[in-house]
A = this chain, B = another copy of it.
Amino acid sequence: MNLDIISIGDELLIGQTLNTNAFWISKELNKIGFTIRQQITIADTETAILTALETALSKSDVVIFTGGLGPTSDDLTMPALNKYFGGSLMRDDKVYQHIKKMITSRGFEMNRNNQNQALVPDNCRVIYNANGTAPGLWFEKEGKVVIAMPGVPYEMKAMVTDEVIPKLKEQFDLPEIINQMVYTQGMPESMLAERIFDWENNLPETIKLAYLPSPGRVKLCLSSTGTDRGKLQHNINVEIEKLAQLIPQYIYSADNEDIATVVGELLRKNKLTLATAESCTGGYIAHLITRIAGSSDYYKGSVIAYSNEVKINELSVNADDIDKYGAVSEQVVQQMAVGVKNKMNTDYAIAISGIAGPTGGTDQKPVGTVWIALATPKGTVAKKHVFGKQRDVNIERAAITALGVLRKELG
């Protein structure tokens, strides 16, 4: 069952807004059995909208639009779809009351824009938008479904979860699709491919493999489609078992989970606690850990020591060692780890100090130099890494690598 996603908005085409909607919709709709044929992003014009709709309808069973449903003049999706499906606009009373409640609860009065948002085509079904004022639209034509939702991510997500997915499941007989991720760390993609060459060649035809490299990791994605979910999962598990024999030291998870989740589960399972002390990553590790619901069970907190003063006063780093070895050094990063572990009274602590760039590098310590320390109940270890020149990549790699060090220690 094919599905096309059409994202509308000039802000996407000028690179002002990152298209997280197509990503999220693909994940959720693939999970329930749709094959996403393509994602396309087009401009806010009637011609572009109608051309994309016609192509999509000729190839796919379901077409999902996001964007261009707001209350302002640049929102053209509703008039374009209304024209295509030949309906007329009428006021939906339930939508009207909902908009009124939302606007007045924020201390504003209904205006013309708000009133217009309650006008919907009379030949579509309204998708309720609990978190916003723009209603969603559900059209049908010759057994195919066309859905339009606003582009604001949290509004759209609730609509997909609460209304779109249940209705699509009811309407279509969907296959089972499994995409199982295996996370690896420590080997470049080309080497990994060589090491698992025979395994890959002997994969059953029903299982498709993809290599997904990213800073510090290569993910392997095993995909399979069929009718019996248990059997699909079993076949994939058999292959992952073989893979785990081949490269045990490089695999860190065979589930659909990122490394912060894996580390979190290990800590929770063993009733252990963690604190962090971050310099160059500036809170990014803490963010990766705390964006997971329930992380307060094992994560106590962090000291982000962006200045040397904070390293000395809050983490008990020896000021003389900063002078002697520099803030980016084995001595300092070890003291940061021990300092935060003692202060927050945890079992483990991660500390990072490095030069994220783009400036601040020297011949001895070029941009990308990062010291990572792990304080454990048994002692403290530290290792130097030299990443690249780009600030954002260095922050990402340092954080992922540090979590990887903790995972190895725990796992």
Q: Which residue of B lies closest to A276 (CB)?
A: B304
A283 and B290 contact, CB distance less than 8 A: yes
B310 and A393 contact, CB distance less than 8 A: no
A301 shortest CB reach to chain B, Å: 4
Q: Complex: how many Å from CA A281 to CA B388? A: 29
Interface set, chain A 74-133, CB cutoff 8 A to B = 74, 103, 106, 108, 111-114, 117, 131, 133
Q: Which residue of B lies closest to A29 (CB)?
A: B15
B310 and A301 contact, CB distance less than 8 A: yes
Interface set, chain A 15-57, CB cutoff 8 A to B = 15-20, 22-28, 30, 36-44, 48
Size of interface on A: residues with Cβ below 8 Å to B: 113
B15 and A30 contact, CB distance less than 8 A: yes
A223 and B291 contact, CB distance less than 8 A: no
A81 shortest CB reach to chain B, Å: 19
Supposing A193-B72, A210-B10 touch, asked if A306 and B290 sit within 8 A by C-beta, the answer is: yes
This chain: how many copies in the complex? 2
B22 and A131 contact, CB distance less than 8 A: no
B215 and A11 contact, CB distance less than 8 A: no
A317 shortest CB reach to chain B, Å: 12
Q: Complex: how many Å from CA A213 to CA B75? A: 12
Given A40-B40, A70-B189, 20 other A-B contacts at CB below 8 A?
Answer: A9-B210, A14-B179, A15-B23, A19-B22, A38-B40, A38-B41, A39-B40, A71-B189, A74-B211, A113-B193, A133-B190, A278-B283, A282-B287, A282-B295, A283-B302, A287-B287, A301-B305, A302-B302, A310-B344, A314-B314
Q: Complex: how many Å from CA A306 to CA B291? A: 12
Q: Complex: how many Å from CA A289 to CA B291? A: 17
B190 and A73 contact, CB distance less than 8 A: no
A30 and B44 contact, CB distance less than 8 A: no
Q: Any chain B CB within 8 A of the CB of A166?
A: no
Q: Complex: how many Å from CA A108 to CA B10? A: 45
B36 and A14 contact, CB distance less than 8 A: yes
Most buried by B among A13, A30, A71, A106: A13
Contacts of A179 in B (CB 8 A): 14, 16
A293 and B113 contact, CB distance less than 8 A: no
Supposing A190-B111, A221-B10 touch, asked if A282 and B293 sit within 8 A by C-beta, the answer is: no
Q: Any chain B CB within 8 A of the CB of A238?
A: no
A210 and B344 contact, CB distance less than 8 A: no
Q: Any chain B CB within 8 A of the CB of A357?
A: yes
A residues within 8 Å of B by Cβ? 9-20, 22-28, 30, 36-44, 48, 70-74, 103, 106, 108, 111-114, 117, 131, 133, 152-154, 157-158, 179, 181, 188-191, 193-194, 200, 208-215, 219, 221, 223, 275-276, 278, 281-287, 289-291, 293-296, 299-307, 309-310, 313-314, 343-345, 356-359, 388, 390-393, 395
B190 and A71 contact, CB distance less than 8 A: yes
A304 and B286 contact, CB distance less than 8 A: yes
Contacts of A43 in B (CB 8 A): 37-38
B44 and A22 contact, CB distance less than 8 A: no
A-B contact pairs, 25 of them (CB 8 A): A11-B212, A11-B221, A13-B37, A15-B27, A16-B27, A17-B214, A19-B19, A38-B43, A70-B189, A108-B191, A113-B190, A113-B193, A114-B190, A153-B393, A154-B390, A275-B310, A283-B283, A283-B286, A286-B286, A290-B306, A291-B391, A299-B306, A301-B304, A302-B303, A314-B314
